[in-house]
Amino acid sequence: MDATGWSTDAATDSALRGHRGASDAAGVAVLGCCAAWSLISATARAGRPEGVLLAVLAVIAGYACGRIGGALVPVAASCAVGLGGLCLALTAPYAAPAPDVVTPLGRVGATAALLALSAGALCCAAWSARQRPLRVVLHLLAACSVVVAAVVDSPAGITVCAGVVLCSLAAARVRSRALGLTGLGLVTAVVAGLGVALAKSALPAGPTASLETWLSHRRILLWRDAVHLAEAHPALGTGPGRFEDLSPTLAQSPLSDGKPHSAVLQMAAEQGLIGVLLLATAFCWLLYVLWRSARSTRVVLAAGAALTAVAAMATVGNALSFTTVTVGVGLLAGISTAEPLTDGPPDEAAAPEFLRDGRG
């Protein structure tokens, strides 16, 4: 193991590359199944799979570009993604609420997701830098995402950006990436579970009233429509893109984006239980490749925090309906799992023990 924390043992490197190659192959298989199932469901139900296919393609393209950039110039690539995301958040049309968006997690949620990804990329750049002063500067730049969120009037963005930066700073004291990634996965599962429970009216009256105040009553009605459609069509769903045609709530509101504002419930309604399982599998694969990454634990957990923030927002909003967000997810995942092409990569902290002995 050299001073920069990358393994220099040839046998170990060869074994690790084999494991990560298998992980990448598994990811291709999972995303391919997501695309194939959307086509199957669309064919059976006369659906419109273009949105799902575009999202899958965006993630794959972003992941490939992130792996290349992260291998060649990890600091520069992370900075480019982070600063690019901040610029898009400031200039994109959905940086401010549109007239047809009356709930806090619509297009503004996409802006918050973009800001979270930007903060995560800049934190990855900070932990990839060799010099401590540059790390401080880049973390301060990541903290500027909170300011940008305030400028575009995104309370959700302020919260998630602050959370990502704090998680990145806390990662300096975390020794087990497996424990950290498990915690991030549980956070996503809890948020998704609360959304489903709220949609099925399974929560007590007090929490239900509080959540409805924050999310809006109309969003809850959309979720309940999605649950009813999922229960009526549990196997194949109603077909991709058909929620807007079948939702009674949307029928009463012509100014709408046609989404239930929950990736989990949208999958359940439009692609059935298999679609939900594939979505969950894709997220679990993402956590797995982060766990197997040769990058330092600090980089991995900073990226994991940002990706978890996006996943959590996707369970209560329509962030994944925007190509800029899905491309950003792929880019950040690729950068944080890239392998070095030189003997002296910039990560200071050594990769954790499991990279040497195979244990988590």
Three-state SS at 140: helix
Rounded to the nearest 10 degrees, the angle between the axes of helix 297-315 and helix 177-199 is 0
Chain centroid, CA 173 distance in Å: 24
Determine the pLDDT at residue 349.
43
pTM of the model: 0.87
Which of the four pLDDT bands, split at 50, 70 and 90, describes residue 101?
very low
- Using an 8 Å Cβ cutoff, are 225 and 247 in contact? yes
Determine the pLDDT at residue 10.
45
Determine the pLDDT at residue 237.
92
- The mean pLDDT of the chain is 84
Three-state SS at 129: coil
Spatial separation of the C-alpha atoms in residues 57 and 273, rounded to whole Å: 22
Determine the pLDDT at residue 9.
44
> Above 60 in pLDDT, residue 109?
yes
Tell me the percentage of the chain whose pLDDT exceeds 90: 61
CB burial class (10 A; 0-12, 13-18, 19+) of residue 209? Answer: exposed
Tally Cβ neighbours within 10 Å of residue 243. 23
- Using an 8 Å Cβ cutoff, are 242 and 270 in contact? yes
Spatial separation of the C-alpha atoms in residues 289 and 37, rounded to whole Å: 23
Rounded to the nearest 10 degrees, the angle between the axes of helix 50-72 and helix 74-91 is 140
Spatial separation of the C-alpha atoms in residues 297 and 76, rounded to whole Å: 19
- 121: Cβ contacts below 8 Å, ≥ 6 apart: 78, 79, 81, 82, 85, 303, 306, 331, 332, 335
Closest CA to 302 of 116, 174, 173, 167: 167
Chain centroid, CA 334 distance in Å: 12
Q: Which of 171-175, 176-180, 188-192 has the lowest mean pLDDT?
A: 171-175
Spatial separation of the C-alpha atoms in residues 314 and 329, rounded to whole Å: 12
Which of the four pLDDT bands, split at 50, 70 and 90, describes residue 308?
very high
What number is the average pLDDT over the span 59-73? 94
Which of the four pLDDT bands, split at 50, 70 and 90, describes residue 174?
confident
Tokens coding 12: 């170990």
Q: Which range is most confident: 106-115, 308-317, 334-343?
A: 308-317
Q: How far is CA 143 from CA 85, 86, 122, in A?
A: 14, 11, 9
Spatial separation of the C-alpha atoms in residues 177 and 359, rounded to whole Å: 12
Which of the four pLDDT bands, split at 50, 70 and 90, describes residue 214?
confident
> Above 90 in pLDDT, residue 8?
no
Q: Which range is most confident: 83-97, 135-149, 335-349?
A: 135-149
Determine the pLDDT at residue 238.
93
Q: Which of 2-16, 123-137, 271-285, 323-337 has the lowest mean pLDDT?
A: 2-16
- Looking at residue 27, its amino acid is G
What number is the average pLDDT over the span 263-268? 94
CA dihedral sign of residues 160, 275, 66, 15: positive
Determine the pLDDT at residue 24.
83
> Above 80 in pLDDT, residue 355?
no
